[in-house]
Structure 1
Amino acid sequence: MSEAAKMVKDFMRFNPTYFTGVSDPEVAGRWLMTHRRLHQLLEVPEVDQARISGYCLRGQGAVWWTTYTDIHSTPSTWAEFRQVFLDEYIPTEVQLRLREQFLGLRQGNMSVSQYMDRFRYLMMYAMDVANSERLQIYYFIRGLDERIGGVIVATGAETLQIVYDRALARETYLLQIEEQLDHRTPRDDLQLDHDFSDDRDSRDAQYDYDDGQIDWSREDDQDQTNDQFNNDDHQVVQEIVPIPIQQPRQLYIQNQDQRDRSWGQRSEGPTVWSQGQT
């Protein structure tokens, strides 16, 4: 058995789908996607992929393929075969529409596996922008749920398959968390509230204790400051000599006596003045 025949036999063991030439873009696109994945799984050489998939064409599909290979040479790469096939069975306007769907694809409510299936299908129509592993990874992560894609971005994965596997693992983890929350009983909620209350009371007690220490220290400092102020005030009061307050009449008589003594030194005798004289 030749090497080519052996590859075809191994390929057929996986029961690949057949294409009969129906004018349905969805059917044609999925046939291409399925065969591409089988080629990658079996590590079929690039130059043999178009010829092997050609064996899986039936009906009008087989007629078309026979006619094409009689006129043209067999495509040497899968990319060439894919483009020839798309041009034959999928109108250009449909290809452009599906290309736009790929560029705007988001996971939304789909599971990761459903999202990956849709991603691979639409990617066939956007190979001009997703023509490398790096770009395929970029578009795949961009469309993932942010709870999944946000974690995968930091892993630095090098292949789309690795990214896909990690996305599945992350999805499984999130589903387990949601399941635990859904099956939580009222007793679990009560325990969570109790634990939170104990933790909060512990923090409040610590804060109260710390505040008490601070307040006591402030009170001690304030008492010492007040004592110092009181001592200083008392010392100042003791140093002040009280000055007796004289009544206005006493001051008048005292001043009058001083004037009388002054006049008495100039005249023969003192002149006595009464308060009522002017």
Structure 2
Amino acid sequence: MILARRTSIYILLVGLVVLFVSPFGWLVLTAFKDTSELAAYPVHWLPREWQVGNFSKALNFIPYLAYAKNSLIIATIYSVLITLSSAWAGFGFARLNAPGKRFLFGLLLSTMMMPAMITLIPTYIIFAKIGVINTYWPWVLWGLAGAPYLIFLFRQFFANMPRELEEAAIIDGCGYGRIFWRIFLPQSWPVLATSMVLSFSWSWGDYIAPSLLLSTDRTTLAVAVATLYTNPANDTPINNVIAAGAVMFIIPILVLFLIIQKGFVTGVSTSGLK
């Protein structure tokens, strides 16, 4: 009975893995196909001849590395700033006492239910009025503002830390700023890793904000891969080259996750409700 139950669970898990991995697998296979195979019927699952040259075409058809540099700059600035600002806000909600703290924290969490599209046009108007369109300043401002979900993660983690650490630091003459930077922040590396992975992937994969706020030469790799691989003769997308560019676009996020996956999993599992 137990063996049958375990077998059924394993079969279910394998089926879910195949379901979630199959789109990426299809993308990889498309990246190695010739253009004539994309419209072939019946569908060929495997390429007849593996076209490794699609990857070099993806790199050379557009200034791929220049757009990748833009994405890396924006994602790094955004992820570092939003991690630090969210950690500071989470520390305040977890360890400081003030009137209305519970109400403000509930209000903060309620903003996670607001679709980002609602604030898109007002945000664009504000950035246009202060003159930061076609610059990277919007990502700096977004980073300094923090993110509700990340603030929640840090707040839950800091709330579970022993009160004795804080009291001992206060007796030694430390203020809350030094307590945060010297004691709490170094201890929160699992949540820091989680925040860095999530915020970096948010910014790296974002299409809407760069296409709205940046010109073509300053835009990110996500926008370039989605829009610039078109045939000059008839303005149609070159799908196999797009797939090759998309595969290379995904690799940095996978590498980042593999490097700090232990901290990512630990950060999510240890930031539960107290």
After TM superposition, the score normalised by the length of structure 1 is 0.21
After TM superposition, the score normalised by the length of structure 2 is 0.22
